[in-house]
Every structure is written in C-alpha cells, then in structure tokens.
Amino acid sequence: MQWTLDLLGSIAAIDEIVVALHPDDTLASTLTYLHPDKLRFTAGGAERSDSVLCGLKAMTAKSDDWVLVHDVARPCVPVEDILQLLKMAGDDPVGGLLAQPVRDTLKRSSADGLRVGETVSREGMWQAQTPQLFRYGLLKAALESAAARNTVVTDEASAIEALGFSPMLVPGSPRNLKITWPDDLWLAGQILSSSR
C-alpha cells in the first residue's frame, strides 16, 4: 500500500487520493508516506464496488472531474502507463482502463472444476487492470445503479458497461500485476527492485 500510494502521489496530475480501508484497519494511517498532503482515508464496504463508492462519496469532486480508481495491490504499475491512460482516455467521452490482450489459451472448467469443460477463444479478449479512468458523476451513478440492482461488479468498467457505455482499452504493461497469491509478493519485489 505504501509503495502504491507513494507512486500515485508522485504524479502531478493527481490532486487527491482517497483510500477506502477495512473499518478495522489500524496500520494504513500509521505508515510514512511521501505525499501525505494528497492522502485521505475512509471506511470501505463489503465488496470492491462498495469500497469504491465509499471513496467517491468521501471525495471533493465535481460531476465532470476525472477519477482514477486503482488497486493498492498493484504497486508495479508503470507511471508511464498511468500517464498514457490519462492522455488517451482523458479525451474520450466515456473513459477507459488499462488492460492487456490475453496471451494464453483460455480454458473453462467443467462443472466440478477438475477438468477442462471447453477451450475459449482468446481472440479479442483483454485482461482488465487498474487504474481505470471515468468521470466522477458517471462512475458514481454506475456504482449506485449496480448497488440498487444488487449486482456485484468486479471492476468499475463493468459498472459503466451495465449503463450501456463502452470504455476505451488502453494497453498496459505485464508488470502491472495484482498481488493475489503468495508468489506474487516475490515477483512484485523483483519488479520493484529492478525499477529503483
């Protein structure tokens, strides 16, 4: 978290960083950050979309302001990728997200999850990353709409898509991994060590 927030804080185009935390988190506010003047912490929710909505409500933003949503579990995102997203999607009427074309063959498991049920074409398939960039008002409306329908969305783009919009895909780096499994910590450490 500290590495990610320091990286985001170093970008001049980012004015404010709101971090949605588990209500019982006692560590985040005790860390030393390079840009504490940009940071604000707020309580998150049960699901990712709930936490993002809590973060939006804690912001001082106007409806047409651009908002970046980023996972703190993605500390290796290159600053150049964020700047490219701002440049490309910042002129788009909808917004966009960093993503990578899928390289590997995709398999859907059988019902029991133990065997291959089918091979899925990777043509036109992209792996979503963060940050994702949308107008404050549109993103807030999209997440509120999903919550009203009791629909869990796994990223902001899917909430925007549910309103009938098509976000822009901006090619991102394979370095922008999400720390999900224990081995990811080692890999992130290698990436971060080599970028110093």
Per-residue confidence band for 193, with pLDDT thresholds at 50, 70 and 90: confident
Band the pLDDT of 170: cuts 50, 70, 90.
very high
At 9-45, the pLDDT tens digits run 999 999 999 999 999 999 998 999 999 999 999 999 9
pTM metric for this prediction: 0.92
Q: Tens digit of pLDDT for each residue in 87-115?
A: 999 999 999 999 999 999 999 999 999 99
* pLDDT category of residue 189 using cuts at 50, 70 and 90: confident
Return d(Cα 24, Cα 175) in angstroms, integer: 31
Chain mean position to CA 178? 10
Q: What is the fold of 2-194?
A: Spore Coat Polysaccharide Biosynthesis Protein SpsA; Chain A (3.90.550)
d(CA 142, CA 53): 10
Residue in the structure block whose two tokens are 């999903």:
146
pLDDT at 196: 61
Handedness of CA 41, 45, 49, 53 (dihedral sign): negative
- pLDDT reported for residue 4: 95
CA angle 87, 93, 98 (to 5 degrees): 45
Express each pLDDT in 48-96 by its tens digit.
999 999 999 999 899 999 999 999 999 999 999 999 999 999 999 999 9
Q: What angle do CA 196, 179, 61 make, to 5 degrees?
A: 85
Give the model confidence (pLDDT) of 109-157 as tens digits: 999 999 999 999 999 999 999 999 999 999 999 999 999 999 989 999 9
Question: Kind of pairing, strands 126-135 and 66-69?
Answer: antiparallel
